[in-house]
């Protein structure tokens, strides 16, 4: 049995998305900037996609900017807000310690330029509160950038409450909603979100395409200069097939949001309760406000990388921390941020489910993971030291 349980890294494209892409390759292949009829037909398809995307998140079509994905949208949102803040002498940003690298690395760049960043602590409940944001606001704060849901540990952040706090304080609010889009309802106006990033390949759309929503009246700074596409704010010939696939995937996900959430939550809870029986383990992430597809554990005395490779041999594709961290020896910054010590953080496992997973697959995971953990512990010197009392258990 093959069980794909790495949907937070990327998802399989849906049939609806694939079908929606074909006409853009075969029929509407014109350049939307061309003045002739083939170009103008493509332009119409593009603007129709923009309207439908806007309807999915509750904004106006002209507030939608198509990008190459979540990373680009995060970069542009944060850099734009920073440039606007700078002009007013405001160089303080509020974020969290467990953001995606697409946010954190931009913030680190800005810190080198003299910006100050407050990284909110995420040790309590593996989450933050709107009050945490409120407490961190200073007169010179120009931006709050806080993710909607965490990609590694699944915590869902109180975005509506944070939006209200930012609105009251008159501070721009950006959210990296890459893990939320297609999985949680989004209404940028009701939630007082000024800027939002999303990415198609996390909700069964194609890779290499995403959206930056930017509220009307906020001046974007270009990250990619060139032609006048996307209201002059993002140059480059539009990836129309990918854009059509993304919109179809999001509409499909939203049309089935409730039933998918119900189904995936049941699978997740079965998996969490089964894996919790493994001795000396801990669940990562907010136990209550949690993505329906996220299961994240730390197992003491083992290496997550070995666990992954053995699981793959037994047909289960999972992840330990984030895909971007694999290949490096440092444990995930997210697990360190929630207070896991290095040794424990190294023994992490993330299983991320989608509506394509089945109960039989969950049963397979529940057979395989405890076996592999027990095997790895049986050959682990750290585990031997824990058992003989030379080391003390942390979990
Ligand atoms: C995947 C992901 C991104 C990056 O999106 P890409 O489209 O792959 O660039 C950013 N933020 C979060 C939370 C993600 O999960």
Q: What is the rounded distance in angstroms from the CA atom of residue 317 to the CA atom of residue 364?
A: 12
pLDDT score for 330: 79
* Per-residue pLDDT tens over the stretch 325-364: 455 667 899 999 999 999 999 999 999 999 999 999 999 9
pLDDT score for 323: 47
pLDDT score for 327: 55
pLDDT score for 321: 67
The binding-site residues of ligand 1, defined as CB within 6 angstroms of any ligand atom, are 69-71, 74, 100, 102, 147, 151, 176, 178-179, 199, 202, 210
Residue 376: which pLDDT band, with cuts at 50, 70 and 90? very high
Residue in 361, 250, 352, 254 with CA at minimum distance from that of residue 295 = 352
* 6 has pLDDT over 90: yes
Atom of ligand 1 nearest to the CA of 207: 7
* 123 has pLDDT over 80: yes
Residue 140: which pLDDT band, with cuts at 50, 70 and 90? very high
* Per-residue pLDDT tens over the stretch 223-236: 999 999 999 999 99
* Per-residue pLDDT tens over the stretch 12-42: 999 999 999 999 999 999 999 999 999 999 9
* 240 has pLDDT over 50: yes
Mean pLDDT of 133-143: 98
Mean pLDDT of 48-72: 98
9, 10, 151, 197: residue to mutate for ligand 1 pocket, most atoms within 8 A of CB = 151
**For ligand 1, atom 12, which residue shows the shortest CA distance?**
178
In the structure encoding, which two tokens stand for residue 215, read together? Answer: 């509220």
Known catalytic residues are 324
User: In whole numbers, what is the pLDDT of the chain averaged over residues?
Assistant: 96
**For ligand 1, atom 15, which residue shows the shortest CA distance?**
151
Residue 263: which pLDDT band, with cuts at 50, 70 and 90? very high
* Per-residue pLDDT tens over the stretch 85-107: 999 999 999 999 999 999 999 99
What is the pTM (predicted TM-score) of this model?
0.97
């Amino acid at each position: 049995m093959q069980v794909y349980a790495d949907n937070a890294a990327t998802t399989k494209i849906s049939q609806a998305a694939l079908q929606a892409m074909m006409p853009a390759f075969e029929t509407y292949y014109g350049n939307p900037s061309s003045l002739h009829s083939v170009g103008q037909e493509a332009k119409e398809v593009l603007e129709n996609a923009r309207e439908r995307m806007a309807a999915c998140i509750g904004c106006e079509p002209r507030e939608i900017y198509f990008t190459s994905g979540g990373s680009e949208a995060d970069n542009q949102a944060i850099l734009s807000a920073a440039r606007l803040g700078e002009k007013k002498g405001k160089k303080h940003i509020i974020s969290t310690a467990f953001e995606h690298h697409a946010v954190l690395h931009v913030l680190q760049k800005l810190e080198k330029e003299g910006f100050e960043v407050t990284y909110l602590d995420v040790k309590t409940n593996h989450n933050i509160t709107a009050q945490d944001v409120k407490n961190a606001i200073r007169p010179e704060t120009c931006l709050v950038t806080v993710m909607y849901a965490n990609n590694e540990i699944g915590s869902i952040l109180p975005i509506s409450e944070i939006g209200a706090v930012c609105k009251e304080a008159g501070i721009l609010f950006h959210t990296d909603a890459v893990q939320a889009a297609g999985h949680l309802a989004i209404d940028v106006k009701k939630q007082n979100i000024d800027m939002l990033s999303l990415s198609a390949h996390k909700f069964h759309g194609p890779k290499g395409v995403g959206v930056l929503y930017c509220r009307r009246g906020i001046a974007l700074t270009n990250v990619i200069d060139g032609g006048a596409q996307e209201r002059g704010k993002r140059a480059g010939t539009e990836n129309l097939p990918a854009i059509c696939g993304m919109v179809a995937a999001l509409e499909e996900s939203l049309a089935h949001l409730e039933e998918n959430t119900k189904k995936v939550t049941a699978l997740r809870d079965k998996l969490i309760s089964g894996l919790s029986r493994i001795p000396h383990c801990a669940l990562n992430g907010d136990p209550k406000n949690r993505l329906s597809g996220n299961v994240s554990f730390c197992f003491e005395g083992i290496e997550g990388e070995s666990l992954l490779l053995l699981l793959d041999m037994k047909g289960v594709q999972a992840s330990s921390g984030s895909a971007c961290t694999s290949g490096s020896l440092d444990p995930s910054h997210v697990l360190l941020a929630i207070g896991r010590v290095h040794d424990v953080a190294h023994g992490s496992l993330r299983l991320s489910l989608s509506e394509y997973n089945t109960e039989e697959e969950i049963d397979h995971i529940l057979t395989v993971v405890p076996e592999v953990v027990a095997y790895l512990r049986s050959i682990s010197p750290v585990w031997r030291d824990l058992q003989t009392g030379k080391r003390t258990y942390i979990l």
